[in-house]
A and B are shown apart, each in its own frame.
Chain A
Amino acid sequence: MSSGIRRLYGITALFDNPEKLLNAARAVVKEGYKDYDSYSPYPIHGLDAAMKLKRSYIGVVTLVAGLTGATLLVIFAWWTNSVDYPLVIGGKPLFAWPSYVPLTFEMTVLFGAVSTVTALLAVWLGLPRNSHPLHETEFMKKVADDGFGIAIESKDKKFDEKQTKEFLENLGAEKVELVYYEARELTLGETVLDPKFITAIVVVALLSSAATYLGLNQMLLIRPWSSLNVQAKVLPETKSAFYPDGFAMRPPVKGTVARGQMPYRYANDLAGAEKYMQNPLLPTKHVMEVGKRDFNTYCSPCHGYFADADSRLQGQFPVPPSLHIDSLVTAPDGLYYEVITNGYQGVMPSYARQIPRDERWAIIWYIRALQQAQNPGEVAEAK
């Protein structure tokens, strides 16, 4: 430890009651000392005035931070709810400011309190600091308990070892002592590049990444956390001891049709479809709109927006025939339905999975409308 030279920090004086401290503080100010401080186990009424301390402006931090917190909350709530992902809740407007009032208040308090405390400790008081020369002195121990003291630092312009000591003794101090410190206490021996420090950082990094990996990638996959993956239910294509045939999946009950599973009798039977299928919908405005939407989504990339084979795929896919040629204009609805449902000669794929049954018929109405628009009169004749 004795690496450095001992230097004088200052002179400390202890008094046995607060009144003496108050008078001493006044005398020290009168004498013209600047680098001094009073020490007491609790704040003493009137000492700030005796030391002629300026009033504290730390409240400005609270004000600025509090207003910042309030502003940030309102901006953040507005941006998330109205801009980034607009969400209408309970029929309220996107920017429902009355709802933000409670949180604006909370954020004012949170930002204000956290900033004030941080500013107090780190900026105003310069803490944490456990290396001050006064630490571990008898003076500090007494002051922490029931002593009242003054310390005049050696860096003060008026400081003179002998004179200052005499001055403090004359003020009625019980005990006057010189406090020394080692130069090492000013320049901290530890640096950021200390191998111990780096090792500690690396170990902490490894441990926390291992813990994160185990927690998120291993622990969450075992019971009970895996309860979303492992549920008491049967999955498709699995066994079940419950049914005599051992299958978990059940065939439909005889003579019934599941919802949305209407059997299609003319699969790959173009002739049958042409002969027996009829469009079950009426060409209402809604049907036309659905047909247009689906046609533009699914059909138009190859067939073009007007069904005139104006492919947008630029030859990357076979260009289909125009739907305005005579044979197609006069073809029955069943042909269109069968082609949409099961595809055509390996060139056009099946759209049965993408387009529900009724929407296919709506598309056919829309195709008819397009044909009529291109060839007025002819569709009506064919019908």
Chain B
Amino acid sequence: MSEGSYGEVIDYTKAPPLLEGNPTLSKIDESIAAPMEKFPSKKYFMALSVTLTMLLIGAVALGYTLYYGIGMWGNNIPVGWAFDITNFVFWIGIGHAGTLISAVLFLFRQRWRTAIARFAEAMTIFAVMCAGLFPLIHLGRPWYAAFVFPIPTQHGVWINWNSPLIWDVFAVSTYFTVSLMFWYIGLIPDLATMRDRTTNWFKKKVYSILSMGWRFSNRHWQQYEKVYVILAGLATPLVLSVHSIVSFDFAVSILPGWHTTIFPPYFVAGAIFSGFGMVMTGLIIVRKVFNLEYIITTDHLEKMAKVTLLVSMMVAYAYLMEPFIAWYSGDPVDWYLVLMRATGHYAVGFWIMVTCNVFIPQLFWFKKIRRNVAVLFVISLLINVGMWLERYIIIVTSLYRDFLPSSWHIYVPTIYDFGVLIGSFGLFFTLVLLFARSLPVISMSEVKGVAESAHPTHIGVEHE
């Protein structure tokens, strides 16, 4: 064979560069800081007007709900946990990808995470904020939320430590606190860079206060890196515990369809799945709008698609195992519920859910699809739809057909249900847009650390 007939020889022993085009360090700073330093484009304001409109719709729906009570929603007895708990679980799930990307991938030394970690962490925080809203408004009288905390009150009774709902409160608030600190610790060096870049006196004040006077000292970096590893080590089991505890809300009850031991791992897998879907949606928009394609490369998106495919199959396994256990247990109520899910009033939702979560992600087996950003964007949106429907199906179908036929009742959401849901999306994306304008969406110090020639080669120097 003549030379060259093998085509291009790819060196598979060498990982492709994490940044395209080998940019200089100050070029990296410049392009990450650009969204904060330039006056935003028209596109940005158009996006902001859409999200603010959604937020306003949510505010009106929420106002009606608070003024007239949650009777404005379609909730009834027995379907008392309809849209709001669906939204709660959905948003908490979205929030799991952030810590997973930033902590778990960090511990596994996946250095490609640097480009997407900051954004994913910010999404975590915003998603948990959206999630926390729903149990609060579901109370009807939100100020009674104080009773879920172990505070001494005049009636003397303390909280019930055996209740998964109480565990939920502790788990979600711990998760929010730890995620926030993880995010903030990562931001400090970048805030210091912004402090030294900016010329506006007001921004300088804000960045100075927020960066706490970070000095890039190596003695500080040493401690900082150690703490980062510790936090990642703490956050990793925390991610798994939080959604397990959320699933206990269901699994500890005795309703058919909820009372299963597969719920904790099933919920965790679902959370990672939906979180990756949402991070992908957000990243594809951000890299396009702010021209960061050479930092958030197609390689990153492809890797995320691979993780998504893996988790999609875990979710599929749970979908198969649920009916199998219902059939194998021989419990007629459990089996009836499986049939009702697949063929009953909510069958359309069920099959859309299966299609979006199991069948469509199988397209990720093809490299061409994994690297096609437009297709990825559409699929990531479909995953979001599918995962929202999953929680809806789990909650509503189990409640509307329980053990006692006399209590069966159909559930139909009202426009106020949809209004609050739209409002939560509005809140989330408004926060994402404001974040993209005011803080570095990509970690400057970490991306600089993975640039080519960022580290000494150690040639001719003894390595300690």
Chain A residues engaging chain B, CB cutoff 8 angstroms: 17-19, 22-23, 25, 37-51, 53, 56, 58-59, 62, 66, 76-77, 80-81, 84-85, 87, 89-90, 92, 96, 99-100, 102-103, 105-107, 109-110, 112-114, 116-117, 120-121, 124-125, 127-132, 134-135, 140-141, 143-146, 220, 223-225, 227-228
Contact = CB atoms under 8 A, between A and B. Distances in A.
A335 B375 CA distance: 94
Given A87-B158, A106-B170, A109-B234, A76 B150 contact: yes
Contacts of A109: 174, 178, 234-235, 237-238, 241
10 contacts: A38-B217, A39-B217, A43-B218, A43-B224, A58-B226, A59-B226, A90-B162, A100-B161, A112-B230, A128-B213
A140 B193 CA distance: 9
Contact of A144 (B166, B197, B245): B197
Interface string B24-35: 111001000000
Contacts of A59: 226, 230
Contacts of A38: 217-218
Contact of A130 (B161, B170, B208, B463): B208
B212 A46 contact: no
Contacts, number: 216
Nearest to A43: B221
B220 interface: yes
B80 to A, nearest CB: 19
B193 A224 contact: no
B331 interface: no
Interface string B442-453: 001110110001
Given A103-B170, A145-B25, A22 B456 contact: yes
Contacts of B68: 224
Contacts of B453: 17-18
B193 A145 contact: yes
Contact of B455 (A44, A127, A128): A44
A116 B230 contact: yes
Given A102-B171, A144-B196, A227-B69, A84 B213 contact: no
A105 B216 CA distance: 34
Interface in B165-195: 166-167, 170-171, 174, 177-178, 181-182, 185, 189, 192-193, 195
A130 B163 CA distance: 46
Contacts of A76: 150
Nearest to A62: B230
B185 A117 contact: yes
A110 B174 CA distance: 6
B2 interface: no
Contact of A89 (B160, B167, B230, B464): B160
